[in-house]
């Protein structure tokens, strides 16, 4: 059981580490603080990559 929990934790840590690298690269490319990008990502989706919003309306409505 402990091995399964360790494997699951490592999977989550791996995803967060990959996302962290992405935030650093995007921050450098667009001259934005990577911590700001991380904060936005955490607030919007808690770092989940397959999250869909609950609002069905997208885009600009005149």
The residues near 25 (Cβ < 8 Å, ≥ 6 apart) are none
Quote the pLDDT of residue 22: 83
Helices 2-30 and 34-45: crossing angle in degrees, nearest 10, is 130
- Using one digit for the tens of pLDDT, what is the confidence trace for 8-53? 766 766 666 565 678 888 899 999 998 998 899 888 888 777 777 7
* More reliable by pLDDT, 61 or 46: 46
Q: What does pTM read for this prediction? A: 0.53
């Amino acid at each position: 059981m402990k091995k399964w929990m360790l494997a699951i934790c490592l999977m989550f840590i791996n995803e967060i580490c990959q996302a962290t690298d992405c935030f650093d690269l995007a921050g450098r490319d667009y001259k934005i603080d990577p911590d700001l990008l991380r904060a936005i990502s955490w607030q919007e989706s808690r770092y989940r990559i397959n999250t869909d919003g609950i609002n069905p309306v997208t885009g600009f409505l005149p």
